[in-house]
């Protein structure tokens, strides 16, 4: 089966610009996660969706980050405006409802200059 | 709240030597524990997981880990390192309520010397 697809793979923007990332989860996976991985650290959960509803967005900086999952399939994560400290790899992951592990995409590496 | 501590951000072993990557966790409920591997410019790949049952779990590529509740540890081992094992390894914990939503450690970079 196809894995989690993410695009773009790399993005360089200037601070205060906006950027959007796209994720297509594994078919049939109702749960979708966005993680932020800063260099030298482990992934940190930003938001969790169950179908098209938000389960947990407690660690999402809502003043600048937003995410949506229309129709319970694809998801987009947006940053507006970007800050230097947003430079990181943004990982999307998905899992079947009730299952214990998530499957990760290759990530989008964002550099804010 | 849950947390994970990976002891040693960098571990270097010789090819053929034992690999031991340390992970300690904190959880107020019975944990689910995971080890992931990440190769450069790649996503995370699950190596193995512990949910319930047997405390010694075997994963892919010859890795295994033992859940020790009394020590709150879940160390990853492999009897004989291979050059292809060089990567970054992450330990993660979740709970049964939000299975799949994990708290990760900061990772251990494994270097394998020829």
pLDDT at B96: 63
Select the residue from B7, B36, B43, B102 to test the A interface by mutation, using most A Cβ atoms within 10 A.
Answer: B43
Residue B100 to residue A4, Cβ atoms within 8 A: no
The confidence band for A4, taking pLDDT boundaries of 50, 70 and 90, is very high
Residue B98 to residue A48, Cβ atoms within 8 A: yes
Q: Which of B43, B100, B107 sits opposite A101 (nearest CB)?
A: B100
d(CA B54, CA B50): 8
CB A17 within 8 A of CB A83: no
User: Could you give the maximum distance between any two Cα atoms of chain B, in Å?
Assistant: 44
pLDDT at B42: 84
Distance from CA of B89 to the nearest CA of A (A): 10
Q: What is the pLDDT of residues A42-86, one digit of tens each?
A: 999 999 999 989 999 999 999 999 999 988 899 999 999 999 999
CA-to-CA dists, residue B94 to A32, A65, A76, B60, B91, angstroms: 15, 24, 24, 20, 11
A contacts of B9 (beta carbons < 8 Å):
40
Give me the residue label for tokens 């400290």: A85
């Amino acid at each position: 089966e196809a894995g989690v697809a993410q695009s773009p793979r790399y993005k360089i923007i200037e601070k205060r610009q906006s950027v959007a990332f796209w994720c297509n989860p594994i078919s049939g996976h109702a749960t979708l996660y966005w993680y932020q991985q800063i260099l030298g650290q482990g992934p940190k959960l930003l938001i969790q969706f169950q179908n098209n509803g938000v389960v947990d967005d407690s660690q999402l900086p809502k003043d600048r980050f937003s995410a949506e999952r229309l129709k319970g399939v694809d998801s987009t994560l947006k940053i507006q405006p970007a800050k230097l400290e947003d430079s990181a790899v943004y990982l999307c992951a998905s899992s079947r409802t009730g299952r214990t592990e998530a499957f990760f995409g290759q990530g989008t590496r964002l550099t804010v200059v | 709240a849950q947390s994970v501590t990976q002891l040693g951000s960098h571990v270097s072993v010789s090819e053929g030597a034992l690999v031991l990557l340390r992970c300690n966790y904190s959880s107020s409920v019975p944990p689910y524990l995971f080890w992931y591997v990440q190769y450069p410019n790649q996503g995370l790949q699950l190596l193995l997981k512990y949910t319930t049952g047997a405390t010694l779990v075997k994963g892919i590529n010859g890795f295994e880990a033992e859940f020790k509740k009394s020590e709150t540890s879940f160390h990853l081992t492999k009897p004989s390192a291979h050059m292809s094992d060089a990567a970054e390894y992450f330990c993660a914990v979740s709970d049964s309520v939000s299975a799949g939503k994990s708290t990760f450690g900061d990772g251990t970079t494994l270097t394998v010397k020829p």
